Amino acid sequence: MSDAPDTGWTTLASREVYANRWLRLREDDVIRPDGGEGIYGVVEVLQPAVFVVALTEDDEVVLVDLFRYTTGRWSTEVPAGSTDGEDALVAARRELAEETGLVADDWVEVGGMSSLNGICDAPEHVFLARGLHAVDGGAAATQAEEGIARVRRVPFAEVLRMVARGEIGDAETLAALLHVAVHLGRVA
């Protein structure tokens, strides 16, 4: 396999260990930058994800509280999900509606990020959504499917205090909020 010329890494072999419709786990035999041989496990998320910071006219962030099976803990997050192969903006609109029962008139993609890039290849898009109003029929069925227990609107300043108190610990939510804060000029 060919590698970028100045990375210090050489891939000797690569094999798929596990795959499903959302991710692929591969194990690579490598030569590390120090010259030693080793194994590197990589999780490839097959479709980019989207994160939506929905901001009301009253400067409130729409947050969802849900139980995360993977960690066994409750989590407060911004609406998010997989693109499922569709355009990122289409997916962001869908996720906002499914998770919160809201649609937005104004959308801006404010940045991109990559989650857990020491072990994952997981590209992500961050959107700011404004001009919020309720979807006809709401989102109760999809909220239940995803384990969302509560949708709430929290003033932006209070969201930052929640971060400081450790009440929001999801790294992707933290990064999405930072992208939006920078975009809005609230962080130097």
Q: What are phi and psi of 109, to 5 degrees?
A: -80, 120
CATH class of 49-183: alpha beta
102-139 confidence digits (pLDDT tens): 999 999 999 999 988 999 999 999 999 999 999 876 56
Contact 63, 77 (CB under 8 A): yes
Does the model's pTM come out above 0.75? yes
User: Hey, where are the domains in the chain?
Assistant: 10-45, 49-183
Beta strands in 58-147 (DSSP E): 60-68, 73-77, 80-82, 102-114, 120-121, 123-134
